[in-house]
Structure formats: C-alpha cells, structure tokens
Amino acid sequence: MDSSLAASLVIALALAGANLPFVNERLFALVPVPGKAVVGEPRNKALALRLLELVVLYFVVGLVARLLESRIGSVFAQTWEFYAVTGCMFLVLAFPGFVMRYLRKRR
C-alpha cells in the first residue's frame, strides 16, 4: 500500500468515525443503549455518551493510522502538539454529524 492511499484511507476512516456517534442511536453502531424507552419514541443517547464514543473512536482511528504508518516505513515519534492538532481536526470532522443531530430544525 503506498502512502497516498494510506493517507486517503485514514482521512475517510476519520470522517466516518467522527460522525458515527451522531448518526445512530446505538453505541458504536452495534450495542443498543441501555435505559427506559418512552412508548412511541426511540431511545436517545445522551450527549455525554456521544462525546465519550467520539473520544474512543479518535483513539481507534489513531491506532489504525499508526498501524498503516508502520507498514509503510518507520513510525515517527509524536508529541503533545500532534495529539492536540489531530484531536481538534477530529472535532472539526464531527461537525456535520453534530449539526444534523442537534442544530437542524425538525418538522
């Protein structure tokens, strides 16, 4: 796998992973959310649970990126600045899902 394909794969995976907590009502799109459901309404995940899921998915995408980087060549050492920038970038990638979930007017 060449480096441009790996970079494109990581960006696509980050975009999908950042929006996953906001597009469905299941935990990691697999596990139903525990709790009582109101009759006639779907069970909603709390914002705190969505943010926790977002943090976990950030680390999963980072792990996949690190594995792809190790397959291409040597892995570069990362400092706190790298994690601060990629964390902010992950939040920016999550913006479309957040807007669709919380800011879009429902009819």
pTM of the model: 0.86
pLDDT of residue 5: 92
Quote the CA–CA distance of 100 and 10 in Å, as a whole number: 23
CB 33 within 8 A of CB 26: yes
pLDDT of residue 36: 66
Q: What is the pLDDT of residues 9-58, one digit of tens each?
A: 999 999 999 999 999 888 888 888 776 666 656 668 888 999 999 999 99
pLDDT of residue 62: 95
Instruction: Measure Cα distances from 80 to 31, 65, 77, 84, 86 in Å.
Output: 32, 17, 10, 6, 10
Quote the CA–CA distance of 5 and 51 in Å, as a whole number: 29
pLDDT of residue 3: 86
Q: What is the pLDDT of residues 76-97, one digit of tens each?
A: 889 999 999 999 999 999 999 9
